[in-house]
Amino acid sequence: MPGRDARATSEVAPSIQAPSGIWLTHGKDGRLTLYVHSADGLRRWTQERAGGSGWTVADIATGGSLGHLTVVQDAHGYVHFVGRRERTSGSTPAVDIVYAIQYQTGRPITAWRSLGNPHKDAPGGHRIGVPDVVVSASGEVHIVLRNAGGGLMLRRERPDGTWRGWEDLKGARMEGDPVAVALASGTVEFFAAVEGGTLYWQQKEAGGDWHEAQPSRLAVLAGTTAALETAPGRATYYWTDPAGGVVGFRAGAWPMALGGAPGGGPHAAIRVAVDGYDCTVLAHQGADGTAAVGLGVTENEANGVWWSDTGVRCLGTPALALDGRGMMVMAVVGEDGEPRMARQTEGPGLTLDDWRTV
């Protein structure tokens, strides 16, 4: 069983707010970096050595001007940051999407660059959603968000590094925010929960346009979807069913009931080697406020996902990554606002060692 944190309590300190995100990235030198974004800004911890237990003292990577932030790492190890920024301008706050990048582990983040807003008017611009970002195999950055009308907007880099304008991929009545996934084939896909079902956009070819959105009547609790490439060129989407439990879905197949008792937030997903098998690990904040982990054989989840409650209370969705030894690391933000971490042990099955405050 995963280790338990004896300091966890059942009461949330009233001054602590849930973070807008927690992320783990794996640098080219094998070291992990932990990021936590909250109203105070983006805090960053860097592993002192690959696979080790020591971490640098937290530094503030950026201030608290970003209401929301998304972090993703590309195949070269670069870490990309996309934020939704609000600034007071008259009666309606001005909103724009901003972008920055970190090229090496522990190095400073570049200056933030504004990518504007797909809406020219302030009221429409204020109603845009939270962006998601992925980087294709060619290194092209893709940013997607829900527009004021509930459709999908895309902004992406050209191969020479310049940015295209905002592209309208249509769709309507989107609930929550879209999820993007970059596949080893070089293509990128988008998925969104909408009123009464879902929409799914599939790229025709690497670097090309997208097929018209494919609708379904699948029931999705908005704001809970995660995506993971589970076979070459194929993604699996995971979300919470409005009636409870986790669902797994691959385009062209029936949805799979995977069990679990998730809360209302999104899931984290990663592929991990367990006892010689390629497995998928899912993690979320459970309905009772503790972090839960699910384990199933990759692309064989329908035959069973085994869930375990870590007993560690957390704020928001956990983060998952593989460390320099190929072992899974799980990080959460505790109810005191401080990050805690546990690592996969070398024994049989998926077991986590003791939880430690970073």
Does the domain made of 21-264 have the CATH classification 2.60.40.1180?
no
Query: What residue type is 280 in one-letter code?
Result: T
Report the alpha-carbon distance of residue 251 to residue 237 in Å, rounded. Answer: 9
Q: Hey, where are the domains in the chain?
A: 21-264
Using DSSP, state whether 122 is helix, strand or coil.
helix
Would you place residue 161 in the very low, low, confident or very high pLDDT band (cuts 50, 70, 90)?
confident
**Rounded Cα gap, residues 184 and 206, in angstroms:** 10
Closest by CA position to 22, among listed 302, 256, 202, 291: 291
> How far, in Å, CA of 3 to CA of 343, rounded?
10
Return d(Cα 82, Cα 141) in angstroms, integer.
10
- Please report, for residues 95, 101, 139, 223, 305, the alpha-carbon distance to residue 188 in angstroms, rounded to integers and kept in the order given: 26, 20, 12, 20, 27
Torsion of CA 278, 283, 286, 290, to 10 degrees: 110
The pLDDT tens digits of the residues spanning 163-214 come to: 999 999 999 999 989 999 999 999 999 999 999 999 999 999 999 999 999 9
The whole-model pTM stands at 0.92
Q: Is 298 strand, coil or helix? A: coil
pLDDT in tens, 126-151: 999 999 999 999 999 999 999 999 99
Among 279, 243, 271, smallest CA distance to 259 is for 243
